[in-house]
Structure 1
Amino acid sequence: MWLYKKIKYVGKQFGRYTIEKPIGEGKYGLCFLAKSDLGQMVAIKKFKRSLFKKNSEKNAYEAIILSQLKDKRIPEFLGVINEKGFYGFVLEFKNGSTVEDILFKYKHKFNRKEFFNIGIKLIRIIMYLHENGVVHRDIRIPNVLVDNGEVYLIDFGLARWVDNNQYPYNLDFSYLGDFLLYLLYSSFEIKGKHKKMPWYEELLLTFEQKVFLKKLLGIKLMYEDIHDIEVDFIRVFKNYNCFLKS
Structure 2
Amino acid sequence: MSIRYIWKQLWRSLNKKTNEAVRLWDDLWFREGSIITGRYRIERKLGMGSYGVAYLCRDVRSGQRCVMKRVTPLRGGTQRAQFIYAKETGMLELLSHPAIPALYSKFRYRNHLCFTMEFMEGKSLDTLLFQEQCTFTERESLLLIRRLLPIVAYMHSVGILHRDINIANVVVEGERVKLIDLGLARELANAESVVEDVLDVEADDPSEKILRRTIHVTSDYYAVGHLLLFLLYSTYDQKEQAPAGADRGWELELTLHPGTKKLLRRLLLTEQPYVNVQDIIIDVNQILLYLKT
Q: Determine if the TM-score, normalized by the shorter chain, exceeds 0.5.
A: yes
Is residue 209–residue 237 contact of structure 1 (8 Å, CA) maintained in 2?
A: no
Aligned with residue 186 of structure 1, among 234, 237, 243: 234
Unmatched tracts of structure 2, length 5 or more: 1-20, 192-213
1:32 matched to 2:32: no
Is residue 31–residue 45 contact of structure 1 (8 Å, CA) maintained in 2?
A: yes
What does residue 9 of structure 1 align with? 31
1:229 matched to 2:283: no
Aligned with residue 174 of structure 1, among 205, 211, 222: 222
CA–CA distance in structure 2, aligned partners of residues 154 and 163 of structure 1:
22
Question: After the TM superposition, which parts of structure 1 deviate over 6 Å for at least 4 consecutive aligned residues?
Answer: 1-4
After TM superposition, give the deviation of residue 114 of structure 1 in Å.
2.8
Is residue 23–residue 31 contact of structure 1 (8 Å, CA) maintained in 2?
A: yes
Amino acid at match of 1:24: G
After TM superposition, give the deviation of residue 6 of structure 1 in Å.
4.7
Amino acid at match of 2:78: K
Judging by fraction of residues, say which structure has more helix: 2
Percent of aligned pairs sharing the same letter: 29
After TM superposition, give the deviation of residue 29 of structure 1 in Å.
2.3
Amino acid at match of 1:20: E
SS in 1 for 2:168: helix
Amino acid at match of 2:176: E
Aligned with residue 45 of structure 2, among 1, 22, 26: 22
List per-residue Cα deviations over 1:116-145 (Å, max 9, x = no partner): 331111111101111111110010111101
SS in 1 for 2:156: helix
Amino acid at match of 2:142: F
CA–CA distance in structure 1, aligned partners of residues 77 and 26 of structure 2:
17
Amino acid at match of 1:53: T
What does residue 86 of structure 1 align with? 112
What does residue 44 of structure 1 align with? 68
Change in Cα spacing, 1:82 to 1:4, as seen in structure 2 (3 Å) is: closer
Amino acid at match of 1:123: L
How many residue pairs were aligned? 241
What does residue 198 of structure 1 align with? 249
Once the two structures are superposed, the pairs formed by residues 8-157 of structure 1 within 5 Å of their partners are 8-15=30-37, 16-36=39-59, 37-48=61-72, 53-55=78-80, 56-157=82-183
What does residue 161 of structure 1 align with? 187
CA–CA distance in structure 1, aligned partners of residues 271 and 103 of structure 2:
37
Query: Structure 1 length as normaliser, TM-score?
Result: 0.90
SS in 2 for 1:38: coil
After TM superposition, give the deviation of residue 177 of structure 1 in Å.
0.2
Change in Cα spacing, 1:4 to 1:237, as seen in structure 2 (3 Å) is: farther
Unmatched tracts of structure 1, length 5 or more: 242-246
Amino acid at match of 1:79: S
Change in Cα spacing, 1:164 to 1:126, as seen in structure 2 (3 Å) is: same
CA–CA distance in structure 2, aligned partners of residues 127 and 200 of structure 1:
27
CA–CA distance in structure 2, aligned partners of residues 18 and 94 of structure 1:
18
Superposed CA RMSD: 2.2
